[in-house]
Every structure is written in C-alpha cells, then in structure tokens.
Structure 1
C-alpha cells in the first residue's frame, strides 16, 4: 500500500449533502404573488441595511462620497415602510 492510498483511507468520508427542496409547489397566480412579495421584501431589506451602514459612516467618509452629516442622518432615520422602490 502506498502512502497516498493510506492517507486517503484515513480521511473521514464526506457525507453527500442533501438536496433541500424549498421550491414553492403553487402554480399560477399564487406563485406570482409570493415571488413578488419576496422580491419586494428583499429590496426593502437591502435598502434598510444600506441606510444602517450610512448611519455608521464617519464625517470624513461622508465628505468623501459627497453627503453631509445631516443628510446621512436624515436618510438613516427613514423607516423601511416609507422606502420608495424604483
């Protein structure tokens, strides 16, 4: 038995990952509504995360992107339900 075969036989065998099926079983209009709601939620969550990140920037970083502290704090204070999606 050569060295490589001996080393490979000592390694634990990887367990094959299970394929999780999170697909929506609904067809037609119900599926379309759920997918639109999910996309809307994801977009609102992304905007909220970017607003929170904007709130954490220093004055120097805000000057670098051309935003005043007042504008940044005002935008960070906007609740997610008042967000406008393009």
Structure 2
C-alpha cells in the first residue's frame, strides 16, 4: 500500500478546512519511514497555508521542520503561524 503522513485541519465544525501531507521522508539510522511512507502528492503539491477562522495555518509535519525551505515557502505564501504536529 501507499501511505502518507498527513495532518488534517478542522475549523470549528466537522468540515475539513484542509490537509497537509509530509514532504520530507527521513532516511537516517533509527528512522525507517521510507519503507512505509511516501512524500506528499496532493492535487496541488507544495506548501500552501490552510485558511481558518484564526488565520492562515502553515501546517508542516514532523521531519519537515529540519528543512528551512518548507517554513520559508509557507511564510512567502502568507502563513500567519507555522504548526508542526
């Protein structure tokens, strides 16, 4: 199967506001995610903030925190806050 490490964002209701699929898959000793996760493949791939009632959330997942271009691209896309669940 194909699996993505995905964060879902809900905004005050049961409706999905958006999602983000982790782009950077670690390949380091002790981190074997490449054997069961693949990089994100959303309809519009890339780094896009999710609009919510509290602002635009730049949601990035786990290992993405070690790549500064992910945060930079979210900031350039007008994210109000970065979140790394």
TM bracket, shorter-chain basis: under 0.3
Higher helix share: 1
Q: TM-score, normalised by structure 1?
A: 0.21
Q: TM-score, normalised by structure 2?
A: 0.21
Could you say which structure has the larger radius of gyration?
Answer: 1
